[in-house]
């Protein structure tokens, strides 16, 4: 598999080598040993979640406070998504930088998202399904939500009609309010 660091330090796009024949395709979706070699850190799975979305649904921008922190390995297992990660770590040289990756079920492409980095996606097809492999279990009260349409971030979601957002996401504060509330993690260059 090919593992490439993005414009957000510590976030990586993972593209598997696909083996195709007349029966179909086989590939390894996640190899934690290869991910550790590329990222310089281990990734242990504590929880796996799925969500399905109809076309033009926008979910995010989400992160988790530290502690507990939460790294994610996200993969589109049905349909297609425009996935965006944003560096939200205070003091990071890339603070506010983002990376856009199109995740399509047939490609097997995934994104590894380190702790302190925000994540969201726009469903490009009906019945899109995303898998989240998480380094920590859900801890109520630790979710950080930032309005994905915050003009200060100006993220390139690429929708042509207003997206479908949950009330929670549409009413989330902007990045400036979350920053002033002291909820964001601090950059630790030893664990990007």
Distance CA 70, CA 64 (A): 6
| Contact between 60 and 157 (Cβ < 8 Å) | no
Q: Is 186 a catalytic residue?
A: no
What is the DSSP code string of 138-184? Answer: --TT-EEE--TT-TTT------SSPPB--HHHHTPPPHHHHHHTT-S
Q: Which among 27, 50, 132, 186 is annotated as catalytic? A: 132
What is the DSSP code string of 105-119? Answer: TTT--EEEE-TTEEE
Distance CA 177, CA 173 (A): 6
Distance CA 92, CA 179 (A): 13
Q: Which among 27, 50, 62, 119 is annotated as catalytic? A: 62
Q: Is 132 a catalytic residue?
A: yes
User: CA-CA distances (angstroms) from residue 26 to 5, 10, 22?
Assistant: 24, 27, 11
| Contact between 123 and 148 (Cβ < 8 Å) | no
| Contact between 76 and 111 (Cβ < 8 Å) | no
List active site positions: 62, 132
């Amino acid at each position: 598999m090919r593992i490439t660091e993005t414009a957000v330090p510590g976030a990586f796009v993972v593209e598997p080598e696909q083996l195709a024949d007349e029966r179909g395709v086989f590939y390894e979706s996640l190899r934690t040993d290869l991910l550790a070699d590329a990222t310089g850190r281990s990734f242990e799975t504590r929880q796996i979640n799925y969500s399905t979305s109809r076309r033009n649904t926008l979910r995010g921008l989400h992160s988790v406070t530290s502690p507990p922190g939460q790294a994610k390995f996200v993969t589109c297992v049905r349909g297609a998504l425009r996935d965006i990660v944003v560096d939200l770590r205070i003091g990071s040289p890339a603070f506010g930088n983002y990376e856009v990756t199109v995740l399509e079920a047939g490609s097997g492409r995934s994104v590894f998202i380190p702790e302190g980095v925000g994540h969201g996606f726009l469903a490009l097809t009906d019945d899109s399904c995303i898998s989240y492999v998480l380094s920590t279990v859900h801890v109520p009260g630790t979710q950080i939500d930032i309005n994905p349409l915050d003009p200060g971030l100006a993220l390139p979601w690429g929708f042509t009609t207003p997206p479908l957002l949950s009330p929670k996401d549409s009413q989330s504060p902007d990045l400036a309010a979350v920053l002033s509330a002291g909820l964001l993690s601090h950059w630790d260059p030893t664990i990007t």
